[in-house]
Amino acid sequence: MDAKTGTQKQTGTITIGNKNWDFPIYKGTVGPDVIDIAKLYSETGMFTYDPGFTSTASCESKITYIDGDAGILLYRGYPIEQLAEHGDFLETCYLLLYGELPTAAQKADFDYRVTHHSMVHEQMMRFFQGFRRDAHPMAVMTGCMGALSAFYHDSTDITDPHQRMVASIRMIAKVPTLAAMAYKYSIGQPFVYPKNDLDYASNFLRMCFAVPAEEYKVNPVLARAMDRIFILHADHEQNASTSTVRLAGSSGANPFACIAAGCACLWGPAHGGANEAALNMLREIGTVDRIPEFVKRAKDPNDSFRLMGFGHRVYKNYDPRAKIMQKTCHEVLAELGIKDDPLLDVAMELEKVALRDEYFIEKKLYPNIDFYSGITLKAMGFPTTMFTVLFAVARTVGWIAQWKEMIEDPKQKIGRPRQLYTGATRRDYVPISRRK
């Protein structure tokens, strides 16, 4: 624990039977204190038990702070609302990686470095050919992210700070190119190379939607919306995919392989796959008059149906990103002249109904970032299967910043949780001839 911030405040005592054990309690700069139970097993012979890690701090971090009750999200102390309003995505990437907002010179240098790493090795094209055209783009992304480690041996020595930063820049720079290639491959259109005179979001939109047959003009309103969506999704403390990246990285695996692991975890519908699932849910509901039927199902403990895009492990208030996402959604629909999107009507009414409903109030279930993102991305021209890919493009910087923080932590060791074993105790082998 860093003496400056994680100061030992006092000790906590655990009493088991007639024995007491004292453990240090540390105080962060903000947020809940922690009790250091690293010595619990060696002193008591017992493990803690916390499936889903609802009460477990897996690490010390200085990157992102969430106050779930107040609906607050800070990247290196800066409110997400201010970063989304005033900055751009590469500024957020710099902030997450280096810990401070860049000066104009630092920003220009960082933008240059990312821009000039945006191409992928030409042989990656062949890697794509191995996939079926109808492969889910997240399957392609997970494969290609891991495959990057086969091309960049000069930035996989994680003990070298320079190589760690090169790998970080490469990942941030190449992930939109791979994402656009996954999209183009799925629709049978030729890949579009990045252009160095475009900003990050404009480059991405052009790689996705330009065709060789005609000039493509980036819509600045959509580019701004895309950039803001990237900022909103950039990092989020120790969520499932980030924890996956940290655990993979704790074994010393190279950063490209770790990001591939995070990408695989993000795909799940309970996590980053919720934006795709939320839009599919809105489509299934179809019209406002069917909302009560689905809300009833979401409340039924015997029905596995959940309102996708609602609820959160940490936010027990409105996800601050969802508010900005909703505003961006309206901006995009207005820019595209989409007056009455039935899915938006269903989403707005569903939000109203759910926020008034006792079940959602009692369980503190609010719209999360995935609730409005799908409508926005669909309006921008992305197919539903690309929604989680866009989440992965943005979250790559969060994954890599958290990975770097862990690797650079002198106390870092391999993550190796234990278990509560409730299986068979020791028993002898029975030859098959004697089995009943």
Residues of span 345-364 touching ligand SDX by CB under 6 A = 363
Question: Do residues 305 and 312 lie in contact, with contact meaning Cβ atoms separated by under 8 Å?
Answer: no
Provide the minimum distance between the beta carbon of 271 and ligand SDX in the complex, in angstroms, as a whole number: 4
Q: Which residue has the tokens 């020791």?
A: 426
Choosing from 27, 107, 121, 271, the residue that interacts with ligand SDX (CB under 6 A) is: 271
Q: Which residue has the tokens 């962060």?
A: 28
d(CA 73, CA 320): 7
Smallest CA-to-CA distance from 128 within 184, 205, 175 is with 184
The reply to whether 154 belongs to the active site is no
> Does residue 276 touch ligand SDX according to CB under 6 A?
no
Provide the mask over 368-407, with x wherever binding to ligand SDX is found by CB under 6 A and - wherever it is not: xxx-------------------------------------
Token representation of residue 287:
């019209």
3-state secondary structure of 422: coil
Question: Do residues 118 and 176 lie in contact, with contact meaning Cβ atoms separated by under 8 Å?
Answer: yes
Residue closest to ligand SDX, measured at CB? 311
Choosing from 27, 107, 121, 306, the residue that interacts with ligand SDX (CB under 6 A) is: 306
Question: Do residues 73 and 80 lie in contact, with contact meaning Cβ atoms separated by under 8 Å?
Answer: yes
Question: Do residues 291 and 352 lie in contact, with contact meaning Cβ atoms separated by under 8 Å?
Answer: no
> Does residue 310 touch ligand SDX according to CB under 6 A?
yes
Nearer to ligand SDX, 209 or 391 (CB): 391
Using CB under 6 A, which of the segments 87-95, 146-154, 194-202, 301-309 binds ligand SDX?
Answer: 301-309
Residues of span 229-248 touching ligand SDX by CB under 6 A = 236, 239
d(CA 294, CA 285): 7
Choosing from 312, 322, 347, 387, the residue that interacts with ligand SDX (CB under 6 A) is: 312
The reply to whether 50 belongs to the active site is no
- Nearest-5° angle of CA 357, CA 237, CA 74? 80
Provide the minimum distance between the beta carbon of 102 and ligand SDX in the complex, in angstroms, as a whole number: 24
DSSP for residue 17 = T
> Does residue 365 touch ligand SDX according to CB under 6 A?
yes
Catalytic residues: 312, 370
Residues that bind ligand SDX (CB under 6 A): 236, 239, 270-272, 274, 298, 301, 306-314, 363, 365, 368-370
